[in-house]
Amino acid sequence: MKDAQPRVTRLSEYRPPDFLVDTVELRFELGDTSTLVRSRLALRRNPAVDNLDAGLQLNGQGLVLESLSIDGRRLQPGEFRHEDDLLRIASVPAQFVLESEVRIEPHKNTALEGLYRSRGMFCTQCEPEGFRRITFFPDRPDVLARFTTEIVAPREGFPVLLSNGNETARGELPDGRHWVRWEDPFPKPSYLFALVAGDLASLDDSFVTRSGREVALRIFVEAKDLDKCAFGMEALKQSMRWDEEVYGREYDLDIFMIVAVDDFNMGAMENKGLNVFNTSCVLAHQDITTDAGFLRIAGIVAHEYFHNWSGNRVTCRDWFQLSLKEGFTVFRDAQFSADTGASVVRRIENVALLRTAQFAEDGGPMAHPVRPDSYLEINNFYTLTVYEKGAELVRMIRELIGADTFRRGSDLYFERHDGQAVTTEDFVRAMEDASGRDLGQFRLWYTQAGTPHLAFRDDYDPSTGSYRLHVSQSCPPTPGQPYKAPMHIPVRLGLVGSAGEISFASGGGVPATEQVLELTQAESTFVFHGIPERPVPSLLRGFSAPVKSSFDYSSSDLERLMRLDSDGFARWDAGQTLALRVLQARVAGQGAAGADAGLEGAFRALLRDEAADPATVAQMLVLPAETYLGELAELIDPLAIHAARQAERRALAASLRSELLACYRRLAPDADYRVDPDQVGRRSLRNACLHYLSLLGDDECRALAREQYLTAVNMTDRLAALTALVQGDPDPAAGGAPAILRDFEQRWRKEALALNLWFSVQAQRPHADTLDDVRALLSHPDFELRNPNRVRALIGAFCSANAPGFHRVDGAGYRFLGEQVALLDPMNPQVAARLLAPLTRWRRHAPLHAEAMRSTLESLRDLPALSPDCFEVVSKSLAVPGA
């Protein structure tokens, strides 16, 4: 809390644990008013630590201690101290058994960390520090123990009792209760512990591993959701096969379970053998799930499954190493998604996320390296930097050492560190050892925060045919890091001539049309010989490094790349650069009345090209996001950016009306709904056309959207139509949006996940008045501040994706967020702190906005009992840079 200022945890202060735990035996007696947790820990001094008389210190938060004993002898009050979330026992033997009994109150747990209740069921979330809310334990990832868990609960209401590992016994008690025992043979850190108890149905299947072992697969949900599990199950089986084929990793228990819970702070959790998922990240059905939702679910199912090796078998030494498991696992799930779908489109989506959200984080007051070196609240470090930029680091290593060598590196890593708790350094060293390459300078990517900038220049000498590319790299200051050393950056390059790719040789290599240049200096020059004409450089193909870059392309250069570049990502990126310039000119007040001629021409060609891949065309038609424009601006004027982007979109829609209509009609559904790349691509382009058309607000386009809404047989098309009517139409009331919104509400009142979409669509209507709608929706009978998905759907969506509403000039949007965070923080600090993200970057905004944002942050800072989570975000946001 605030008066006892939260303590800083530093990587430099890491010490190995004084005590190790060999086995943990837990027994839970679950009850409506309290739960009794008995634990039996076999402890011994860590032989690697030279500290023979260190006392025992265990974490424990909010636990009511009932009894404590060592080797069967009950401890008297003077023999231990229990304060500040720690249990201290001054003198203990070298090896002993510690037994404890504590009481906890899961029904009062609104933070959703530790053991809590969600819609009646009991469930746990222990990563990163939730286990200490369940029992006394060295709650740190470098203490690995073998767990046995017994769960006792009334049979009525809790027929299903689950924990990690294999079920080994069960029985009945005379009082209507029953019990089940689970044993997990793999030593694991406490953050991977899980328990679930409830009245659940399951979809059951099985998988035969490549070595011929049969694994039972079970997805547990409320009975009403049983028809929404098939897609997740398929994704799970695909992931299991993929990890065998691509990484040689086989599953290791006899059973793999997934449980869906409605109240969950994040997406999902990789507990050993018992993954717990946010319902929004596993339940899928075409009636309530969009195409984007399906793809996201497949990616998250894969992500959590892949953690079984990258995270569980090889885990983190401490939480500074979080990217060891998260960066690597995001990289693995992105590879999986690319392999099983439209790879270029997946890459475009990833890059768009990096450029908008991760770059913003890297440029704000919470900027931190992929391996941070200090934190107040570790929950605040489950960030885009650790996850997404962390994945890019793994990707760059693969780019530098090659795919085959990378596989040898990952084999070596898993083999060398199986059963250990290790560091990002161990990961990089395995890659070095497998490749023989020195990644010394590359390690800076783990320790230096901020997004590097690459400035490219070139010159061409027609008389000798030599082409020179000059690059200078720099990286802006970030909190605590005023100066940055040059980094090791892979730049995948092609040269595009007037008729297509030019093949070239550099440094005596074999001629090719592509090469990975390696930057290591602040300034470097690369020379290419035998180039017959002045080429246009295709830089950072596939987004080979997470950087910003600049090169003085002419518009015709960009049009050439869009047409002739062999790299799909680079073609898209050239279009984005073209569009960026148009929008930046508009923001600066230099916009023409109509659409930009270059963009209009490019879009017209795309819409008419019936041979082009619809999914890619759909991506190319999306103008760069407002947040990316803000990120690249000197000073962010969110309203001017929104207005410019909106004006360009309207102008494009007006000029391309007939092409948009033709494309929309051409792509009408011609088969039953399926989630395959072809259908997903067609729907995405058709709905992109519908959205452009809706901006015109004319009767024909409105009728089209209403018709699509009413006849849709899947949520993708239904939601796209609703979004067009609510958010696209300049006058939603005239277009019929209110009636359609009522229809949607009636239809989906009972489906929480669909209703979340309904809240979000309204929260994102780009208008200053939306704030009033959002306030009204807070009193909707189905709005609940205790449910994180609802909070994110309404408050989160409004504050992060509605510039005209959130950034109102009167500051009411900022004050609204401040009020809601103040209400939520005492209940669920983790979710409250995340909601604050849009305010953290106040210094980058134009003064009018910056002042109002700051004053909201100040009012939060002055609250009497701010959580450490929000305190960290607020205080770092208000801190003077460089001071």
- Which residues does the annotation mark as catalytic? 304
Nearest CA-CA partner of 861 in 839, 831, 838, 830: 839
Would you tell me how many other CB atoms lie within 10 Å of the CB of residue 697? 17
Out of 382, 528, 748, 798, which residue is the one contacting ligand TRP (CB under 6 A)? 382
Q: Taking CB under 5 A as the criterion, which residues in 322-341 touch Zn ion?
A: 326, 329
Asked if residue 261 binds ligand TRP (CB under 6 A), the reply is no
State yes or no: residue 549 binds ligand TRP (CB under 6 A). Answer: no
What is the Cα gyration radius of the chain? Answer: 28
Q: Is 269 in the site for ligand TRP (CB under 6 A)?
A: yes
- Pick 269 or 651: Cβ nearer ligand TRP: 269
Identify what 128 binds: Zn ion, ligand TRP, none; CB under 5 to 8 Å per kind: ligand TRP
Q: Cα separation of 52 and 58, whole Å?
A: 17
Give the span between the Cα atoms of 505 and 4, in whole angstroms: 63
Query: What's the DSSP call for residue 795?
Result: I
Closest distance of CB 326 from Zn ion, Å: 5
**Which one of residues 184, 243, 304, 377 is an interface residue with ligand TRP (CB under 6 A)?**
304
Beta strand segments in 243-297, E: 255-261, 268-269, 274-278
Between 147 and 528, name the residue whose CB sits nearer to ligand TRP: 147
Compute CA distances 379 → 212, 319, 359, 601, whole Å: 40, 10, 20, 48
How far is the C-alpha of 404 from the C-alpha of 381, rounded, in Å? 32
265 binds, among Zn ion, ligand TRP, none (CB under 5 to 8 A by kind): ligand TRP
Shortest distance, position 389 Cβ to ligand TRP, whole Å: 15
Smallest gap from residue 620 Cβ to Zn ion (A): 31
- Residue linked to tokens 């009525």: 156
Query: Per-residue x/- mask for ligand TRP, residues 315 to 334, rule CB under 6 A?
Result: -----------x--------
For residue 699, give Cα distances in angstroms to 446, 696, 726, 732, 830: 55, 9, 15, 12, 46
Ramachandran class of 108: left when φ > 0, alpha when ψ lies in -120 to 50, beta otherwise: alpha
266 binds, among ligand TRP, Zn ion, none (CB under 5 to 8 A by kind): ligand TRP
Tokens of 795: 């408050």
Q: Which stretch binds ligand TRP (CB under 6 A): 268-276, 570-578, 610-618, 695-703?
A: 268-276
Buried b (16+ CB within 10 A) or exposed e, 568-577: bbbbbbbbbb
Among Zn ion, ligand TRP, none, residue 426 binds (CB under 5-8 Å by kind): none
Sole window of 320-328, 411-419, 547-555, 604-612 interacting with Zn ion (rule: CB under 5 A): 320-328
Task: State how far Cα 295 lies from the chain centre.
Answer: 14
Query: Cβ contacts of residue 105 below 8 Å, gap of 6+?
Result: 33, 34, 35
Q: Please state the closest distance from residue 768 (CB atom) to ligand TRP, in A.
A: 35
DSSP state of 713: S
Cβ nearer to ligand TRP, comparing 127 with 648: 127
Nearer to ligand TRP, 128 or 293 (CB): 128
Nearest-approach distance from CB 300 to Zn ion, in angstroms: 9
**CA nearest to 445, candidates 413, 402, 484, 493:** 484
Which one of the spans 124-132, 213-221, 444-452, 786-794 is the region binding ligand TRP (CB under 6 A)? 124-132
- Site residues (CB under 5 A) for Zn ion, limited to 679-698: none
Decide which of Zn ion, ligand TRP, none touches 877; Cβ closer than 5 to 8 Å per partner kind.
none
Among 59, 118, 124, 125, binds ligand TRP (CB under 6 A): 125
Rounded to the nearest 10°, the torsion over CA 632, 634, 637, 641 is: -30
Q: Which is nearer to ligand TRP, 379 or 762 (CB)?
A: 379
Question: Please, is 57 exposed, middle or buried when counting C-beta atoms within 10 Å of its C-beta (0-12, 13-18, 19+)?
Answer: middle
Q: Choose, by CB under 6 A, the member of 109, 124, 202, 265 that binds ligand TRP.
A: 265
Residue 817 beta carbon to ligand TRP: minimum distance, rounded to whole angstroms: 22
Q: Which of 128, 327, 452, 813 binds ligand TRP (CB under 6 A)?
A: 128
Q: Which is nearer to ligand TRP, 375 or 816 (CB)?
A: 375
Residues in the chain: 883
Nearest approach in angstroms of CB 303 to Zn ion is 6
Helix (H) or strand (E) holding 35: strand 35-45
- Residues at the site binding ligand TRP, with contacts judged by CB under 6 A: 125, 127-128, 265-266, 268-270, 303-304, 326, 379, 382
- Residues at the site binding Zn ion, with contacts judged by CB under 5 A: 326, 329
